Amino acid sequence: MEICQSCGMDISKEEHKGSNADGTLSVDYCAYCYKDGTFANELTLEQYVEMGLEYSPEYQGADTETEKKKIKEQTRAYLSQLKRWQEAAE
Ligand SMILES: [Zn+2]
């Protein structure tokens, strides 16, 4: 499966792919994260984690703080292995 290397969203559909500077579709990033060859936002990994959790039914439905913390850590671990955050970490 093709996923955005910034936010982890599925980009197997062309309409979800970002665009390179030359107008071709990006193979790495989605349309929300990447536009005309540059990142469309300056968000940090931590902000992406927060954003992801906001839209996570699993997180929103979690009963305890322990469970929420666990889901948050999983989300952070998932995102931090993506290309954008690997590069940022170097
Ligand atoms: Zn994205």
pLDDT digits (tens, 9 = 90+) for 31-75: 999 999 999 999 999 999 999 999 999 999 999 999 999 999 999
What distance in angstroms lies between residue 88's CA and the mean position of ligand 1's atoms?
A: 15
74: β partners = none
Let me know the angle formed at the C-alpha of 83 by 57 and 52, rounded to the nearest 5 degrees.
Answer: 15
Report the number of secondary-structure helices (H) and strands (E) in the chain. 4, 4
What are the phi and psi torsion angles at 32 (to 5°)? Answer: -80, -30
Is residue 80 scored above 70 in pLDDT? yes
What distance in angstroms lies between residue 84's CA and the mean position of ligand 1's atoms?
A: 10
What distance in angstroms lies between residue 57's CA and the mean position of ligand 1's atoms?
A: 19
pLDDT at 11: 97
CB distance 38 to 27 below 8 Å? no
Report d(CA 75, CA 78) in Å as an integer: 5
Neighbours of ion ligand 1 (CB under 5 A): 4, 6-7, 30, 33
Give the tokens for residue 70. 């666990």
Give the tokens for residue 24. 């071709």
